[in-house]
Amino acid sequence: VLYSHLEYICTDSNYCIVQAQEQYRCRIPFNKLKSTLEKDERFCAINRGILVNLDYVDSMEDLVCWMKSGVSFPLNTKKKTELKQILINYRFNIRRKQLSRRC
């Protein structure tokens, strides 16, 4: 599965639910996936056991992360301001890259 196709990953007991174009249920430790994917700026852990691709995030309001697909996840209460800023910075950097290619 390409990183660009990954929408989110969340835990389900001893499994990880990987949502891409299809949904996969894998028996792999969440922390192993998290440590691999967080090296890419697109991925952000928004709460314990929830990792999202910022390309698929619609908004972060109050304590909820809304995905473009309509799925919602709770934000970490203590880090909600930091998580919102991460999303803003990510979108700003993407927009800056797009504008620099046009020039």
Least confident of 16-20, 22-26, 68-72, 97-101: 97-101
Q: What's the pLDDT tens digit per position in 41-95?
A: 999 999 999 999 999 999 999 999 999 999 999 999 999 999 999 999 999 999 9
The pTM score is 0.92
Question: Which residues 6+ apart lie within 8 Å of 56 measured at CB?
Answer: 7, 8, 67, 68, 69
Q: Are strands 43-47 and 23-26 parallel, antiparallel or unpaired?
A: unpaired
